[in-house]
């Protein structure tokens, strides 16, 4: 009996609901099937996003700023819907069903987009003039079909991203040393594989879009996602499934409601008088921050159900540990807020920077580089930075400081600095491009200036993403309560979403309030007539101000201090988490 129990994983079941047999379920093979569907998702989403602005301007004949906002709203919605996907996975569907359902939705969306870009009736007639104002823009019906396809893709992306990484880690038992090492390896390679999918999207897929046809490229996305679904479903019997513990949002609302109900009550003189029913080993040390929330743990007679005296109503009374979990999430919010502006700068790399590239000389011999493929320098910067950090910086830093690399907060700071410098470089490059446009005539289709002038801005922001993405992910996972890891990952992804939405907001505001004596705005319908360099300069200034605020928040932030009895265990866990990244 004991030997049989050693073959099972305590907190996981198989596809039939029986305890998962570690010899028949889980491990790297099922995790690889899950990673395959994530790579195809990246291929589809990024392959569409990085080159969508040229389709909106060149084929649908939309103004520059409008095209940029459509792209950023699409990407922002994709990441925002991760919260919906996470809620459904935690509360109702589970991660497996969530991935299967939303992957199917994304497949339908990419298929619909392939049809929308193929049928002549779903786009306006071709325009043979360089002046966008003289072209017939897409009508409401044509834009409606395009929006429907894009937001089906966004819905699918949101559901997938909320569950793929979590379901992948479910295939490993963190209580087994061998499987825990495999899980660490899975984490380390997850971002690398995402970047690989993005690299394929901005090279192969963008080239097919420009040289063969967009409908062919989007059709490839739909077919590849369909194949990925079949591969994913083939592993159904080999996966490990973990039971849902409910949505952390409900637990947070319970603490807030209980604290509000008791807002007029005085806290007891001793913390020991507050309610606590959590097991001793899992209790969280009480902190003095956000003392208002402590009122949720004040005991009154009305807190307990009438017929079951030992069971308190969770909407009236919460244990101290539950309150401290909410406090831990609240302490993450200042760091969360100050990382949003990075993704606003990032949004320019797939919108205005692509439009810049479309006006510049992109030939290498007889080969014409697609404007959307300039993002290859962005992805290359990410991969190079990760390799240099892993193989050079970490060993040197460990030798000098005795620590295995920068802390998560330090990595976020480096990312913010690099994006600030990247926006400044973008402003200088655009000023140079505009001077050439003015000298040669603003109506010139291809300006006599090399597109490689844009490499610094792509490389700086790309390197910044390598630091900030890994730093944010590490920070939100390791500094959140154990039962709220999925929610904290969703919180991290909302910074990407809000960054794109802030970009759309800034574009709308700047387009509305800026102008010159002749009525020309910073963000003109044709960027050769605008002052995009001023917009980039504004982003550089905002990024610098945000960095100062971030430093203040990072200094203020205080991680949860463990109880003395648990000090050694927590140090071991923390050391393992640092090695993970």
Global confidence as pTM: 0.77
- Given a cut of 80, whether residue 565 has pLDDT beyond it is no
pLDDT, one tens digit per residue, over 161-200 is 878 877 887 888 767 777 777 776 676 677 677 777 788 8
> What is the reported pLDDT for 547?
96
User: What structural domains does the chain harbor?
Assistant: 11-244 (1.20.1250.20), 248-329 (no CATH), 330-581 (1.20.1250.20)
Buried-state track 68-93, b at ≥16 Cβ within 10 A, e below 16: bbbbbbbbbbbbbbbbbbbbbbbeeb
pLDDT, one tens digit per residue, over 381-397 is 888 888 888 788 888 87
What is the pLDDT averaged over residues 448-457? 88
- Higher per-residue pLDDT: 25 or 133: 25
pLDDT, one tens digit per residue, over 280-331 is 777 888 888 888 898 888 888 777 766 555 678 888 888 888 888 888 888 8
Q: Are 417 and 547 in contact (CB under 8 A)?
A: yes
- Given a cut of 90, whether residue 442 has pLDDT beyond it is no
Would you tell me how many other CB atoms lie within 10 Å of the CB of residue 308? 8
pLDDT, one tens digit per residue, over 468-480 is 988 887 788 778 7
- Given a cut of 70, whether residue 13 has pLDDT beyond it is yes
138 to 60, 120, 342, 511: CA distances (angstroms): 5, 11, 32, 21
- Given a cut of 60, whether residue 46 has pLDDT beyond it is yes
Q: Tokens 């917009």 appear where?
A: 535
Which one-letter DSSP state was computed for residue 393? I
Could you tell me if residue 515 is left (phi over 0), alpha (psi between -120 and 50 degrees) or otherwise beta? left
Q: Are 96 and 242 in contact (CB under 8 A)?
A: no
The whole-chain average pLDDT of the chain stands at 82
Which one-letter DSSP state was computed for residue 392? I
pLDDT-above-90 percentage for the chain: 21
Structure tokens at 391: 């193989």
> What is the reported pLDDT for 525?
75
Among candidates 289, 299, 300, which has minimal Cα distance to 319? 299
- Higher per-residue pLDDT: 115 or 188: 115
The residues near 405 (Cβ < 8 Å, ≥ 6 apart) are: 389, 393, 394, 397, 398, 578, 581
Instruction: Kindly indicate the confidence band of residue 92, based on its pLDDT and cuts at 50, 70 and 90.
Output: confident
Question: How many CA atoms does the CB half-sphere of 151 hold within 13 Å?
Answer: 10
> What is the reported pLDDT for 246?
66
34 to 17, 41, 166, 552: CA distances (angstroms): 20, 11, 10, 39
> What is the reported pLDDT for 147?
93
Instruction: Kindly indicate the confidence band of residue 460, based on its pLDDT and cuts at 50, 70 and 90.
Output: very high
- Given a cut of 90, whether residue 30 has pLDDT beyond it is no
CA atoms of 284 and 167, how far apart (whole Å)? 27
Instruction: Kindly indicate the confidence band of residue 336, based on its pLDDT and cuts at 50, 70 and 90.
Output: very high
Residue 59, Cβ density class (10 Å: 0-12 exposed, 13-18 middle, ≥19 buried): middle
């Amino acid at each position: 009996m004991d030997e049989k129990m050693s073959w099972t994983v305590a907190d996981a079941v198989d596809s039939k609901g029986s305890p998962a047999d570690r010899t028949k379920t889980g491990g790297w093979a099922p995790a690889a099937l899950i990673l395959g569907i994530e790579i195809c998702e990246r291929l589809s989403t990024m392959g569409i996003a990085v080159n969508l602005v040229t389709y909106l301007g060149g084929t649908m004949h939309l103004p520059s700023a409008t095209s940029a906002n459509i792209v950023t709203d699409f990407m922002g919605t994709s990441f925002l819907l991760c919260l919906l996907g996470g809620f459904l996975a935690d509360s109702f569907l589970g991660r497996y069903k969530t991935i299967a359902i939303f992957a199917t939705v994304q497949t339908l969306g990419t298929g619909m987009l392939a049809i929308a870009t193929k049928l002549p009736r779903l786009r306006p007639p071709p325009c043979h003039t360089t002046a966008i104002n003289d072209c017939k823009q897409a009508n409401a019906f044509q834009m409606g079909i395009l929006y429907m396809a894009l937001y089906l893709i966004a819905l699918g992306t949101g559901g997938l991203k909320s569950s793929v990484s979590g379901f992948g880690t479910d295939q490993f038992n963190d209580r087994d040393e061998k499987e825990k090492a495999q899980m660490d390896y899975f984490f380390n390679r997850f971002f690398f594989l995402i970047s690989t999918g993005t690299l394929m999207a901005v090279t192969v897929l963008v080239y097919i879009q420009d040289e063969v046809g967009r409908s062919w490229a989007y059709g490839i996305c739909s077919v590849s996602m369909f194949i990925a679904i079949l591969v994913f479903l083939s592993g159904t019997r080999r996966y490990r499934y973990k039971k849902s513990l409910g949505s952390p949002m409900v637990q947070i609302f319970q603490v807030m409601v209980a604290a509000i109900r008791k807002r007029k009550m005085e806290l007891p003189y001793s913390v020991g008088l507050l309610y606590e029913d959590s097991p001793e080993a899992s209790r969280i040390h009480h902190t003095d921050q956000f003392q208002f929330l402590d009122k949720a743990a004040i005991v009154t007679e009305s807190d307990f159900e009438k017929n079951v005296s030992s069971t308190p109503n969770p909407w009236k009374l919460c244990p101290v540990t539950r309150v401290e979990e909410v406090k831990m999430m609240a302490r993450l919010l200042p760091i969360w807020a100050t990382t949003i502006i990075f993704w606003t700068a990032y949004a320019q790399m797939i919108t205005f920077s692509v439009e810049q590239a479309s006006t510049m000389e992109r030939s290498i011999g007889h080969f014409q580089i697609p404007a959307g493929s300039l993002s290859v320098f962005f992805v290359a910067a990410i991969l190079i930075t990760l390799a240099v950090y892993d193989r050079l910086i970490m060993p040197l830093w460990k030798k000098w400081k005795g620590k295995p690399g920068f802390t998560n907060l330090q990595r976020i700071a480096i990312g913010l600095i690099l994006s600030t410098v990247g926006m400044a470089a973008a402003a200088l490059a655009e000023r140079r491009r505009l001077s050439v446009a003015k000298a040669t005539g603003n109506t010139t289709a291809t300006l006599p200036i090399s597109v490689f002038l844009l490499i610094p801005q792509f490389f700086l922001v790309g390197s910044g993403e390598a630091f900030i993405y890994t730093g944010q992910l590490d920070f939100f996972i390791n500094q959140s309560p154990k039962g709220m890891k999925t929610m904290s990952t969703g919180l991290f992804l909302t910074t990407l979403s809000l960054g794109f939405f802030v970009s759309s907001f800034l574009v709308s505001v700047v387009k509305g309030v800026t102008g010159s004596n002749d009525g020309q705005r910073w963000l003109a319908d044709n960027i050769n007539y605008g002052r995009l360099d001023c917009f980039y300069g504004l982003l550089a200034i905002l990024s610098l101000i945000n960095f100062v605020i971030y430093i203040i928040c990072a200094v203020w932030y205080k991680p949860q201090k463990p109880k003395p009895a648990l000090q050694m265990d927590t140090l071991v866990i923390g050391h393992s988490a640092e090695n993970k990244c």
